[in-house]
Amino acid sequence: MNLIRFIRNNNYFPLFIFAVSMGFLEAIVVVYIRELYYPEGFRFPLKELPPRLIVIEWVREISTLFMLGSVAWLTGNNFLKRLSAFLFLFGIWDIVYYLGLRLFIGWPESLLTWDILFLIPITWVGPVLAPVLCSLLMIAMALLFDFRQMNNNLQNLKLKELAFLFSGAAVIYFTFTVDFGMILINGNFLKDFFNLA
């Protein structure tokens, strides 16, 4: 009974459709990028992109986040609802992105294949499994937050809970960027940052 009411009272179906569409769109864009710049295959170490294209890639990534955030904002009527919608959208989008790449070009070969995850503000790298697990956790958190809100068990996150949430996100960010960050610092490459991102 509660589960049926939960599904009926939330916007997860249109959010799901939007996120799936965004995931496939992102995969299609990346297929084109790889065809143009990595026709010999996408393997580490990668051929450098021109600095102009890195800036364009940053704008593309930021635009994607703003699109997801805007839909989440329109969906919710309070911070927690909007956060839940964003987590759900991001999780579905990211998983569908990898499913789309697998469907269109047979990549990644496995969940342990390494990928460039983001370029903002520096390059994030890791095995595909890592963002997929993060995405599954984001979806679960979104559903849990909304379910608890529906049952009046959770109206907003306490400051301590927000601190834990953002601390966990910071640890994830650190693990994805530490290797590239150390290369920038130890190799004295910061002055040439825009050519390396």
Domain segments of the chain: what residues? 2-196
Of 127 and 178, which is predicted with more confidence?
Answer: 127
Cα–Cα nearest to 48, from 39, 59, 37: 37
Q: Residue 45, preceding bond cis, omega within 30 degrees? A: yes
Its pTM stands at 0.85
pLDDT value for 1: 47
When pLDDT is averaged across residues 150-168 and rounded to a whole number, the result is 81
When pLDDT is averaged across residues 155-171 and rounded to a whole number, the result is 84
Query: String of b and e for 85-96 (b: at least 16 CB within 10 Å)?
Result: bbbbbbbbbbbb
Each residue's pLDDT tens digit, 87-118: 999 999 999 999 999 999 999 999 999 988 88
pLDDT value for 190: 65
Give the mean pLDDT of the chain.
86
Q: Which of 20-24, 116-120, 141-145 has the highest mean pLDDT?
A: 20-24
pLDDT value for 165: 84
Examine the pLDDT at 161 and tell me if it is beyond 70: yes
Which pLDDT band holds residue 73 (cuts at 50, 70, 90)?
Answer: very high
Each residue's pLDDT tens digit, 39-61: 887 777 667 777 788 889 899 99
Q: List alpha helices for the chain, DSSP H.
A: 2-9, 12-37, 51-75, 79-105, 129-150, 159-186, 193-196
